[in-house]
Amino acid sequence: MSTHFVPTEEIQKLTLGSYEYLASKIDEAISKDAKVVFGDVVPNKVERIGTFADHVLVAADDGRFVKVKYERSATGAVKILEATVVAVPIFTEANLDTYLMQEARGIVDSMLAHDGAQADLKLRSLIPFVSEAQVPTAEQVLTSVTENVHADRPWKRLYRERTAQVSTFLGESLKGIESRKLPAKFSKLIATDATEAQNAAHKDLVLADLSYMAESIGGWLKLVEDAGNLDDIQSKVTGEELAVVTTFSAFAEDLKRDLQCVRESIQESVKVPNSVAGLGKLYDALAEESFHYEVASRFASMMIEGLRKPE
């Protein structure tokens, strides 16, 4: 069998000016000036994850991500100019559960929005963390649902930024919403010194209150059920008007998905055996958020009505 050998310098001549040649030279420069890029603590392994016209992004095996600016000469030589650590969320065993729950919530949201591709993408990212030996208990599921009620979402961020405008927009109707504001009332059940008998005595009350909460959320959901379908309006406006409609549409659609998910979570939680204290904690979390749910829903409903009103 014949053996073929091509000198390295000949390959470099052929690839001069190509992406592959540039990438190889960048890798060489980073390896040579590792202390310039990473400081005194040089990682054992470095991977280039993005190459751009004037910089690259590299990932180190110690969790650091670094943006490295470079300069390329006419001869193809590469010189490292500057290195900046890029801040990215890093999850460890201590906070991995939070990340996984956020991703799981994203899968549900994508499915409710009929975005199968996005749901599949998020699901694939969770596959490495799946263990057949670990089946979540009813209590763990309930805890996750409670955490999700407080989880930050796009509609909540916009709502916080525009609270004053929303209040002004609702006017006198805001007083009625405030009068219906539900109080958290099961803190004693959540206390560690509450006995099993004390908790059990409140079971029917907790379940009844959760059912009422699910019914209330269903009513708010009806207010925004047409929120995401504003394509007809968006096609008729331009400029700042279009920006307003687009922003509002995204706000209302995310609110709708959140309400759908929360209502379904409540309905499922009361069907399976759960601790009364855990169900009480879920209700109190919902009570804290219910005022904002209703304010945001009625604001969305009034906005939809105003946008669809003929000029």
CB atoms within 10 A of CB 155: 23
301 & 160 share domain: yes
95 & 214 share domain: no
CATH of the domain at 15: 3.30.200
Any domain includes 36? yes
Structure tokens at 304: 């939809």
Give the sheet arrangement for strand 55-60, strand by strand.
46-51, 55-60, 65-72, 78-86
CB 254 within 8 A of CB 260: no
74 & 57 share domain: yes
Low-confidence ranges of the chain (pLDDT < 50): 1, 133
Any domain includes 3? no
63 & 206 share domain: no
158 & 302 share domain: yes
Q: Of the residues 28, 63, 86, which one is the last residue of a structural domain?
A: 86
263 & 167 share domain: yes
Any domain includes 24? yes
Any domain includes 267? yes
pTM: 0.55
107 & 180 share domain: no
Structure tokens at 255: 């609110």
Identify the bridge partners of residue 84 per DSSP, sorted by sequence position.
Answer: 67
Any domain includes 144? no
Domain count, the chain: 3
180 & 290 share domain: yes
Q: In Å, how far are 46, 48, 69, 82 from 72, measured between CA atoms? A: 21, 17, 10, 13
182 & 124 share domain: no
170 & 291 share domain: yes
Angle between helices 239-269 and 138-150 (to 10 degrees): 160
| Cα gap 192→272, rounded to integer Å | 22
The per-residue pLDDT for 133 is 47
Q: Of the residues 63, 86, 109, which one is the last residue of a structural domain?
A: 86
Q: Of the residues 72, 101, 135, which one is the last residue of a structural domain?
A: 135
75 & 218 share domain: no
160 & 60 share domain: no
Range of the domain at 20: 8-86
Any domain includes 2? no
Any domain includes 167? yes
